[in-house]
Amino acid sequence: MPEIIRRLLAAKQRTDFRTNKFRKPAHATQLTFLRAYGKQSRSRIRHHHRAYLGRSFLLRSRTALTESHLMSPIIQRLRHDNEVLYKVLLFIFGGFIWLGVIIGFLGAVAMHNHATIAVYIEYGIGIPAFLLISAALYRAKAFGNMVLLGPEQCPDLYKAVVEGAEKLGLPKTPTTFIYNSQGIMNAFARRLLGARYVFLTSALVEVQSDAQVRFVIGHELGHHAAGHLDPLKTILMAPGHFVPFLGPAYSRTREYTCDQVGAYLCADPQAARASLQMLGCGCRRLNGSLNIEAFAAQEQMVPSIAGFFTEIVRSHPRLTRRVSAIRDNAA
């Protein structure tokens, strides 16, 4: 720190950098010091203040980049091979479609086509407003009707969420709820108004073992850590989903990626595979007695043509394929 700054701090001199004026000094030592430096000292102070703010900004940016760098090796290692390919294709097609929309709007403005301009404005305001209102309403529903996990509420489940988020390098633990699903086994991750959320159904937690639940939690955290729910990327890629079968293909690779993340966090490939099998069974009584290898072998019994056409329109791969993928990666 420059000598002039140290002396100012020592004298507890308050400076208004917005008006470039010094307040009246409170002590004789301050007055002597200010007379010695005069206007030149004020210029130096402003210079060093701007330099300090710049260094602080660079330090915060470097810290954020460091956190991202620490997180990326895990995700890059577990990411499915085709996920990046489909993501790039969605960006390309989505970019062209967005470009067409912009050109169409500019053309309507140039031609003074007020009806077309009105349609653009209606969709441009209506769709974002609908999404924001829907997110706000769902968030209110969650806090008012679901059980929020925390240190004093389901601490074991909350601990699994916290530890998983830390291992994946997430800057903040996603807000996690468990809710009564009326027997439906499911779990999902969402971004609501910019914040990260994870939702677990009561049926899933009831049926699965602790290790299997940790796999599910890790899977959902994987969506956040892998950037699958990034709002800006989602908007840019959204038009690309109009390309037949491209959106579902990208979604399936994301599920494969998050399955590997979940298996990594629960540190038990067998539990991860059993968790997926339980999604197909749903019977707590049979949990632990089902034959995972026999279930994976059912993939060979799926008719090739019918199986292909049912798969290409699905957002999630078949459970038999997901179980086999974890087995192959674990091996």
* Per-residue model confidence as pLDDT tens digits over 142-165: 999 999 999 999 999 999 999 999
**Tokens 């539990």 belong to residue:** 271
Structural tokens at position 60? 């915060």
* Per-residue model confidence as pLDDT tens digits over 38-65: 545 455 545 544 554 445 444 444 434 4
Which element (helix H / strand E) includes 295? Answer: helix 292-297
Where is pLDDT greater, at 293 or 61? 293
Task: Give the residue-averaged pLDDT of 2-12.
Answer: 51
Task: Give the residue-averaged pLDDT of 115-141.
Answer: 95
What is the rounded average pLDDT for all residues in the chain? 83
Does this model's pTM top 0.85? My answer is no
pLDDT at 76: 85
Quote the CA–CA distance of 201 and 256 in Å, as a whole number.
Answer: 21
Structural tokens at position 35? 């007379």
Quote the CA–CA distance of 8 and 24 in Å, as a whole number.
Answer: 14
Of 96, 89, 127, nearest to 245 (Cα)? 89
For residue 35, is pLDDT > 70?
Answer: no
DSSP state of 174: P
Task: Give the residue-averaged pLDDT of 68-90.
Answer: 82
For residue 32, is pLDDT > 80?
Answer: no
Give the model's confidence band at 190: pLDDT under 50 very low, under 70 low, under 90 confident, else very high.
Answer: very high
CA distances from 183 to 7, 205, 255, 315 (A): 69, 11, 23, 22
- Strand, helix or coil for residue 240: helix
